[in-house]
Amino acid sequence: MKKIAVFTSGGDAPGMNAAIRAVVRTALYKKLDVVGIMRGYEGMIDGDFMEMDSRSVSGIIQQGGTILQSARSKRFRTKRGRKTAFKNLIKAGIGGVVAIGGDGTFTGANVFMQEYDIPFVGIPGTIDNDLFGTDFTIGYDTALNTAMAAIDNIKDTANAHNRLFFIEVMGRDAGFIALRSAIASGAEAVLIPERKTNIDKLMKTLTKNNEKRKRSSIVIVAEGDDAGGAFKIADEVKSRFDKFDIRVTILGHLQRGGRPTCMERVLASRLGMEAVKALLDGKRSVMIGQIHQDIVYTPFAKAIKHHQKLNSKLLEMVKVLG
Ligand code: F6P
């Protein structure tokens, strides 16, 4: 293996730049050439590659987003798209690829691996933390801290007006951001896709808080909650008890940007280094994760199928402490 490539794909996540930097610098240290593929699988199909040296990744460790940009590629889902991508990789002399992304990225890589013979390894990069095979994904810690800071601000104004706030955080299929940001901000309740939402139960909690004359109540709603999002749930609650003074905030994409936290940068740097070593050790079709500080290799097929389990003790914490 003389030359490797690195790309970012799917929703960007803070810390992706730190991972790119680590991949590039480790590759150069190991005397490999390295190219960056722009816009994920889209750039692979278009042959949008750029040679990278040590300077191309200077001053990026502290930046959110991704210098290689990202995309959700429809063309890579077609046989034709994947064939063109393979031809471009071969033409560029690439002997191994590091894919940084989430579910969709590794689903694509998994299909590609069954059709073509170029080793891919993956680095978990998504704010959702929904991949099996790592304690934490790159981007999760920063997104949590961003959400927590925003919720703290909302709590100030909620307290000032005795209001009930429904705050929607990201997580189309997973409640990890919702759960930990709820604990960290002292929220009264959390609604997540992994548990069926019970409005009667929620009403009980909220009316109890009202009777206790709590100054405010905060309910964190994960984007993918089955009851239909923060606005819909707020309407339902209002229709059952119109004395609540309710407001809704959708945090949205502000959770995806920003300076990566220290933990994020260290995790991303470690996984980036280990990804290059894994390629050189002959590993393929695996995601590099960290579990209890140890490096763990999980086949793509497993990382995407077995979603990380939600710790129900964390749910209990919201109930008892909120
Ligand atoms: O990257 C994960 C994620 O942020 C999800 O939490 C969210 O549902 C989705 O991406 C939003 O994607 P997009 O930016 O394409 O709208």
Q: Could you give the domains of the chain?
A: 3-139+260-305 (3.40.50.450), 141-256 (3.40.50.460)
First to last CA, the chain: 54
DSSP string, 166-206: EEEE--SS--HHHHHHHHHHT-SEEE-TTS---HHHHHHHH
Is the CB of residue 172 below 6 angstroms from any atom belonging to ligand 1?
yes
Q: What does the pLDDT read at residue 214?
A: 85
196 contacts 156 by C-beta, under 8 angstroms: no
Is the CB of residue 256 below 6 angstroms from any atom belonging to ligand 1?
yes
CA–centroid distance, 166 to ligand 1, in Å, is 20
Residue to substitute in 70, 127, 146, 304 for testing ligand 1 pocket (most ligand atoms within 8 angstroms of CB): 127
Residue with the smallest CA separation from ligand 1 atom 13 is: 11
Q: Which tokens belong to 46?
A: 């278009």
Is the CB of residue 171 below 6 angstroms from any atom belonging to ligand 1?
yes
Q: Is 244 helix (H, G, I), strand (E, B) or coil?
A: coil
CA–centroid distance, 72 to ligand 1, in Å, is 10
Q: Is 299 helix (H, G, I), strand (E, B) or coil?
A: strand
Residue 219: DSSP 8-state: E
Question: What's the whole-model pTM score?
Answer: 0.96
Catalytic residue (choose from 103, 128, 130, 141): 128
Q: Which atom of ligand 1 is nearest to the CA of 171?
A: 6
Distance set, CA 322 to CA 134, 188, 205, 206, 244 (Å): 28, 4, 10, 11, 18
Please confirm, yes or no, whether 294 is among the known catalytic residues. no
- Looking at the chain, list the stretches that DSSP marks H as alpha helix, in order from N- to C-terminal side: 16-29, 40-46, 79-91, 103-115, 140-161, 176-185, 199-211, 230-240, 262-280, 300-305, 312-321
Residues of the chain with pLDDT under 50: none
Q: What does the pLDDT read at residue 72?
A: 96
| Enclosing H/E stretch for 246 | strand 246-250
Residue with the smallest CA separation from ligand 1 atom 11 is: 11
